[in-house]
């Protein structure tokens, strides 16, 4: 029986194109009012999974339930138009011959004229485009078109909203601002949504829970914080954020010895003392400290405005990353003092 605590559940769904498995026994559960995200590289199956939820693709195995009702399985395929799911496409798909208001009203058939007008006015106010109601898509900027597409999808009050790479056609500055705006709009509407993206910054800004996908499976379904600080696999550790692996040897269940010293913290890499592990170090785990006896050579640097990302070479030849305030501007080849500031340990057995 489906768990009624969740609005949406995918239970081991599989989808194939011929002999090629695109979605492979994928599972997730999303609570009412949450914004979920499928994050992963191109070709990992995230858009196909979204299309299965929407009803545009069938599933060969597993089940999809929405609001406690099975909408897809090996034996059942509920038509897309009967699922009460809204969709925002990558290219927005606005009707060019309709005004902004008419586009928003398109999904409100069956309501009276007064009801449609009231809902359209509510949506225009929600997205901050009351003055653009009579403009046509070609008269709107990319960001405005994206807002209209979102309003059109939300207007019928769908049970679930799906968004496929909705910010990919926008420049980076507008993309970042709209991510936050869209999150606010979804929360004001108390909407439940899933967004697909390959951009982790978009995922971090908009989602409550994120599924990192690889080869048709969700590797970890978790908060942005846990994906970054507590990845459960090497793939997630490498895909989310920046970082490097530094070899170490286990002292006991809470300590690992590395060339930078002992790193403390419980970790999930069951093995005996002295067995080898790779320890994940993020750039913010390595601090610049002029008074530290630990030294590393600046091998490369990337200026990021307020900060500089240094690639540092250790005496053994191992490399680590360090994110340093940009007023500490050191030339390539210069030795600098460093110290570790880790509040937990992420290690994987070699």
| 45-58 pLDDT per residue, tens | 999 999 999 999 99
Per-residue pLDDT, 193: 98
For residue 171, count other CB atoms closer than 10 A to its CB.
10
All residues at 6 or more sequence positions from 17 whose CB lies less than 8 Å from its CB, including other chains: none
Going by C-alpha positions, the residue among 294, 33, 340 that lies closest to residue 188 is 33
Residue 271 has pLDDT above 80, yes or no: no
- Residue 3 confidence (pLDDT) above 60: no
Tokens 């690992």, located at residue = 256
**Side-chain half-sphere exposure of 297, counting CA atoms within 13 A:** 9
- Over residues 57-105, the pLDDT tens digits come to 999 999 999 999 999 999 999 999 999 999 998 888 899 999 999 999 9
Lowest-confidence region among 141-155, 178-192, 246-260: 246-260
d(CA 26, CA 21): 11
| DSSP bridge partners of 222 | 210
pLDDT at 85: 97
For the beta carbon of residue 282, count every other beta carbon within 10 angstroms: 19
pLDDT of residue 1: 47
Q: What is the pLDDT of residues 96-149, one digit of tens each?
A: 999 999 999 998 988 889 999 999 999 999 999 999 999 999 999 999 999 999
Which is nearest to 309 in space by CA: 238, 236, 220, 241? Answer: 241
- Mean pLDDT across 206-223: 97
Q: What is the pLDDT of residues 310-330, one digit of tens each?
A: 999 999 999 999 999 999 999
How much is the mean pLDDT over the chain? 92
List CB contacts of 60: < 8 A, sequence separation 6 or more. Answer: 14, 15, 16, 74
> Would the CA dihedral through 201, 207, 210, 212 be positive or negative?
negative
Residue 269 predicted with pLDDT over 70: no
Cα separation values, 40 from 101, 167, 213, 214, Å: 35, 15, 5, 6
Strands (E), the chain: 6-17, 20-31, 35-39, 61-66, 69-72, 85-88, 160-164, 193-197, 209-214, 217-222, 244-252, 255-258, 261-264, 276-281, 286-288, 295-303, 307-313, 319-325, 335-340, 347-349
Taking the C-alpha atoms of residue 119 and residue 254, their distance in angstroms, rounded to an integer, is 57
Higher-pLDDT residue of 173 and 331 is: 331
Residue 265, pLDDT above cutoff 80: no
CB atoms within 10 A of CB 51: 20
Residues 276 and 247 sit within 8 Å (Cβ to Cβ):
yes
Q: Mean of the pLDDT values across residues 228-236?
A: 93
What is the length of the chain? 350
Domains of the chain, with CATH numbers?
6-238 (3.40.50.300), 242-349 (2.40.50.140)
What average pLDDT does range 18-35 have in this prediction? 96
pLDDT at 272: 72
Q: What is the model's pLDDT at position 226?
A: 95
- Give which of 38, 42, 75, 72 is closest to 57, Cα–Cα: 72
């Amino acid at each position: 029986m489906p768990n009624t605590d969740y609005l949406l559940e995918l239970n081991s769904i599989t989808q194939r194109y011929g002999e090629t498995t695109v979605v492979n026994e994928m599972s997730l559960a999303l609570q009412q009012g949450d914004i979920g995200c499928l994050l992963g590289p191109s070709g990992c199956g995230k858009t196909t999974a979204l299309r299965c939820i929407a009803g545009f693709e069938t599933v060969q195995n597993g089940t999809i339930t929405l609001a406690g009702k099975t909408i897809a399985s090996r034996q059942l395929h509920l038509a897309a138009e009967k699922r009460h799911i809204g969709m925002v496409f990558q290219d927005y798909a606005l009707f060019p011959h309709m005004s902004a208001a008419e586009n928003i009203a398109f999904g409100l058939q069956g309501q009276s004229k007064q009801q449609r007008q009231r809902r359209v006015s509510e949506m225009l106010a929600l997205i901050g485009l009351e003055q653009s109601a009579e403009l046509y898509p070609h008269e709107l900027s990319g960001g405005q078109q994206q807002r209209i597409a979102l309003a059109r999808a939300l207007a019928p009050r769908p049970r679930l909203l799906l968004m496929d790479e909705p910010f990919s056609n926008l420049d980076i500055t507008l993309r970042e601002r709209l991510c936050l705006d869209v999150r606010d709009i979804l929360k004001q509407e108390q909407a439940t949504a899933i967004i697909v993206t390959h951009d982790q910054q978009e995922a971090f800004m908009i989602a409550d829970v994120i599924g990192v996908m690889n080869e048709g499976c969700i590797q970890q379904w978790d908060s942005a914080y846990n994906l970054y600080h507590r990845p459960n696999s090497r793939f997630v550790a490498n895909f989310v954020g920046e970082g490097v692996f530094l070899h170490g040897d286990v002292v006991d269940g809470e300590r690992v010895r590395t060339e930078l010293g002992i790193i403390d913290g419980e970790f999930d890499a069951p093995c005996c003392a002295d067995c080898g592990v790779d320890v994940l170090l993020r750039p913010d785990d390595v601090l610049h400290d002029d008074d530290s006896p630990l030294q590393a050579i600046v091998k490369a640097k990337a200026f990021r405005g307020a900060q500089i990302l240094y690639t540092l070479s250790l005496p053994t030849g191992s490399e680590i990353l360090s994110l340093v305030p940009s007023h500490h501007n050191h030339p390539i080849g210069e030795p600098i003092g460093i110290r570790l500031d880790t509040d937990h340990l992420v290690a994987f057995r070699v």
